[in-house]
Amino acid sequence: MTVGEAGNAAMTMPDGGGDPDVGAGSPDPDISERHAVRSPRSPRWGRFTRRSAWPAWANAVAIVGVTAVTLTQLHPNLLFLGTTTAGGDTGAHVALPAFLKSHLLLHGQVTGWDPGWYDGFPLYSFYFPLPGLVTVLLNVFFSYDVAFKLVTVLGSLLLPVCAWAFGRLAGMRDPAPACLAAATLPFLFEPSFSIYGGNLLSTLAGEFSFSLSLSLSLLFLGVVASGLRTGRHRALAAVLLAATLLCHLIPALFAAVGAVVLLLLDADLPRAIGRSRRAVAAGHRWGGRVLWSVVAGVVGLGLCAWWLVPFGLGQAFTTNMGYTKVFGYPHLLFPGSFRWVLLLDAVGVVAMVARRSRIALFLLIMAALAAAAVILDPASKLYNVRILPFWFLCLYLLAGFAVAEVVAAVSRLARRRRLNLWVRDLRGRLAATDGRDWASGRRITPYRRPVPTAVAAGAVAGPLVALAAACLAVVPPLAVPASTLAKIGVHVGPDQPSAWASWNYSGYERKPDYPEFQAVIQMMRQVGAGQGCGRTMWEYDPSLNRFGTTESLMLLPYFTNGCVGSQEGLLFESASSTPFHFIVQDEVSPISSKAVVAVPDGAYGGLDVHLGIQHLQEMGVRYFLTSSTTVQQAAATDPAATLVGTSGPWATSYNGQSLDTTWKVYRIADSQLVVPLTNRPVVWSGVGASQTSWLPPAVAWFNSPSRWGVVPAADGPADWTRVPVGERHPAAVTEPKTTVSDVRQSDQSISFHVDRVGVPVEVRVSYFPNWQASGADGPYRVAPNLMVVVPTGHDVTLTYGRSTADILGQVLTLLAVAAVVALAVVDRRTRRTARRAGPLGTGPAR
């Protein structure tokens, strides 16, 4: 080999390629050893140690490292402890999958009627059922308490995996996917918000459905990016879109917008302009991508149509909480702990332009759209700060891209430098032989490849994970000033995820005041057994948090096997009777929450226990559970309240204040579930089905006991008087006296017997269109949000059945399932055909 030949061989060696052939003579032992490792006869484990496997190990370091750090802060020992999860909304969510398992699924339903809260409400009709179904599935392998805990952390643990998969499927080269996975760690521990969704604090507060949906949305976007490039995965994209939507609506909107942005970025407009062949071909390619997106999107929506169609058509019967828009955008979008991320994002933007990265541009566009939505979103049911997590997530991922590009650039420079040094050394040594035989010269030092670029991801993720573990587990005991840690985004103390997770997953059973909580539950069990099952209105007090959450008594139906219901519940928007409950709560609680903001002025009148008891009678509430002496003294003087149970006194403390609490439960007279009306109802004309139009006049009637003699209805038989809203009702039309007997209630039905037909009967159950009457006309919606039927026979049964929207959604879902199967079969046949045709279509691939 001449000097020129050797030099050319060195120069044409691929960047990062194998070692060069050093010529005649004894083979390099290092080369022989490496070739032996690559031999087909080498041990199976050899493929895991060769350099080609290092990128996979680097990715594993990032994913496993982030997951491990996150899991350690969630206390795995408590996750597998058989205690009832407490804390925030999570402590009330416990009841929902349990009811799904024990009632709805037994009826062949996923959505259905739950009589345990708010005079009854449609469970999972306006909330997201997939996490509940996953809980029921995991309950096959674990206890219910453990299964529920695992679902609450599932989304957070999947986020790094889904971020990595998004990068990989989108075509990003190593180490970018691993760096995206590593970037989810600071996002999970983002301290600037604690309820909007996505980060650990929000997840622990009750937004675990949002977290699971967010992870699935990233995976969906990765599949979309891959599908637009390859034309495959339509069925998978459709399934992931449906799963994302069935976990939470807001991340599903993020996924849908992201899919549109990816499609537009793939339009390749510069090439599609004009009439040249190149432009026509580009237009055809983009047309195919549009068709791919439409098919995947339509089929995905069809898969969840069984839930989505009733959800959309039933919005008129949901409650708008009236939360006001949050301003202070600089603080929302640019908290102090976020500055280092913005610096990395600036580097990422420069790298995006230099590398022409569409995925980095996608992240930047999505972050900008999220920020614009936070600022421009009008006050509506979509609370503007619920979009804030997407701003943070996209910028954290863009920071991960920036780190990947910096590492890749340094790695490329190091590789070029090493290759240049080797070539220079090779040429020098060949020139030194001065025409002598190659074997007689000194052996050339073999070229050794530098560490592959992808392996740098491990070097990035490793220190990042180690630093996070140190900050979260080691720094607090070192007593570093909290102000110093806050500057770098590390917050220690009671408002960190580790403390919240400990509070949640230790459960109700490990709270210091659990004996008091257990005694209250046991008292209500005994009252239900002795006095009969029924609903309970309980006095609200912030100190209830000492039991595990201020919502702890929402679990009365959970702990009493449905015998004793709770008038207050979770999922405020899901019930049309929610505003009326909180009006009563304000009347019977010295400190009330006033959770529903969107009520007419003056709806909250302050503490008035006697009026509150009257309202409880109107809503069919059997029991009144009290804890303060003020309320108990007022209830003791009301002839409609009879003391039927006592527990205490209990000496404890809350927020540094000593408490001496005695619990008393009163039986409310004249609070029957089914009551014949003395006077004929009137129909409000001009009031539509929407809760928005119904609520103001219904609240005005509800707060005026003098008007209760005549019940207003949204509709009714032709002989009922029509009265414009706001006008004085005409003289009451007296109905004949009738008797109601043999009242029976189940989770899906109410039945009773009347001795006279044709007399209106009020059923004190929250109205919803799915209720159907047998043996009576109706049901008709009446104030506040109850039902009235007109018996046409002596035996009447009301059943919660399927609406037209339910049937339509189920039919669409069946069609979508068939479409998914067809898409999967077509995609599989296409792949088989492509493999048989070979890479150039010249014959079978070999």
Instruction: Output 407 or 764, whichever has higher pLDDT.
Output: 764
**Is 797 within 8 Å of 774 (Cβ atoms)?**
yes
Is residue 488 very low, low, confident or very high in pLDDT (cuts 50, 70, 90)?
very low
| pLDDT tens readout for residues 745-785 | 998 999 999 999 999 999 999 999 999 999 999 999 999 99
Is residue 456 very low, low, confident or very high in pLDDT (cuts 50, 70, 90)?
low
* Angle at 419 (CA atoms; ends 415, 425), nearest 5 degrees: 150
Instruction: Output 457 or 658, whichever has higher pLDDT.
Output: 658
User: What is the phi/psi pair of residue 353, to 5°?
Assistant: -70, -45
Instruction: Output 475 or 79, whichever has higher pLDDT.
Output: 79
Q: Is the pLDDT of residue 845 over 90?
A: no
Q: Is the pLDDT of residue 477 over 50?
A: no
Nearest to 67, CA basis, from 144, 153, 137, 147: 153
Q: Is the pLDDT of residue 492 over 70?
A: no
* Mean predicted confidence (pLDDT) in 138-156: 96
Q: Is the pLDDT of residue 10 over 70?
A: no
pTM of the model: 0.87
Nearest to 569, CA basis, from 543, 537, 598, 592: 537
* pLDDT value at residue 326: 77
Burial code (b: 16+ CB inside 10 Å, e: under 16) for 120-140 equals bbbbbbbbbbbbbbbbbebbe
**Is 592 within 8 Å of 582 (Cβ atoms)?**
yes
Per-residue tokens: 471:
């900050």
Q: Is the pLDDT of residue 436 over 70?
A: no
Q: Is the pLDDT of residue 145 over 90?
A: yes
Nearest to 602, CA basis, from 688, 694, 709, 702: 702
* Mean predicted confidence (pLDDT) in 315-322: 88
Instruction: Output 76 or 463, whichever has higher pLDDT.
Output: 76
Is residue 445 very low, low, confident or very high in pLDDT (cuts 50, 70, 90)?
low
Q: Where are the beta strands (DSSP E) in 553-640?
A: 564-566, 623-626
**Is 343 within 8 Å of 280 (Cβ atoms)?**
no
The alpha carbons of the chain give a radius of gyration, in whole angstroms, of 33
* Mean predicted confidence (pLDDT) in 122-148: 96
* pLDDT value at residue 433: 61
* pLDDT value at residue 271: 54
Alpha-carbon distances of 287 from 234, 283, 292, 293, 656, rounded to whole Å: 15, 6, 9, 10, 67
* pLDDT value at residue 465: 56
Instruction: Output 342 or 243, whichever has higher pLDDT.
Output: 243
| pLDDT tens readout for residues 177-217 | 988 998 998 899 888 888 899 999 999 999 999 999 999 99
Q: Pairing between strand 657-668 and 682-685?
A: unpaired
Instruction: Output 65 or 124, whichever has higher pLDDT.
Output: 124
Q: Pairing between strand 564-566 and 534-538?
A: parallel
* Mean predicted confidence (pLDDT) in 579-586: 95
DSSP code at position 703: T
| pLDDT tens readout for residues 25-72 | 334 444 444 444 444 445 565 666 666 666 777 788 888 888 988 998
Q: Is the pLDDT of residue 810 over 80?
A: yes
Q: Is the pLDDT of residue 320 over 90?
A: no
Is residue 461 very low, low, confident or very high in pLDDT (cuts 50, 70, 90)?
low
Burial code (b: 16+ CB inside 10 Å, e: under 16) for 273-298 equals eeeeeebeebbebbeebeebbebbbe
The percent of residues above 90 in pLDDT, for the chain, comes to 61
Residues near 327 by beta carbon (within 8 Å), at least 6 away in sequence: none
Would residue 343 be called left, alpha or beta, if left means φ above 0 and alpha means ψ between -120 and 50 degrees?
Answer: alpha
Q: Is the pLDDT of residue 14 over 50?
A: no
The percent of residues above 70 in pLDDT, for the chain, comes to 82
Instruction: Output 398 or 448, whichever has higher pLDDT.
Output: 398
Q: Is the pLDDT of residue 102 over 50?
A: yes
* Mean predicted confidence (pLDDT) in 645-661: 90
* pLDDT value at residue 844: 39
* Mean predicted confidence (pLDDT) in 606-619: 95
Cα(163)–Cα(158) distance, integer angstroms: 9
Sole residue written with tokens 């104030």: 783
| pLDDT tens readout for residues 243-286 | 999 999 999 999 999 999 999 988 765 555 556 666 667 677 77
Instruction: Output 176 or 41, whichever has higher pLDDT.
Output: 176
Average pLDDT score, the chain: 85
* Mean predicted confidence (pLDDT) in 355-363: 92
Cα(499)–Cα(175) distance, integer angstroms: 33
**What's 222-265 look like in SS3?**
HHHHHHHHHCCCHHHHHHHHHHHHHHCHHHHHHHHHHHHHHHHH
Tell me if residue 710 falls in helix, strand or coil.
coil
* pLDDT value at residue 62: 82
* pLDDT value at residue 361: 94
Per-residue tokens: 170:
């989108």
11: exposed, middle or buried (Cβ count in 10 Å: 0-12, 13-18, 19+):
exposed
Cα(422)–Cα(146) distance, integer angstroms: 59
Q: Is the pLDDT of residue 613 over 50?
A: yes
Nearest to 644, CA basis, from 661, 664, 663: 664
Please tell me the chain's helix, strand, coil percentages from 3-state DSSP, rounded to the nearest 5: 55, 10, 35
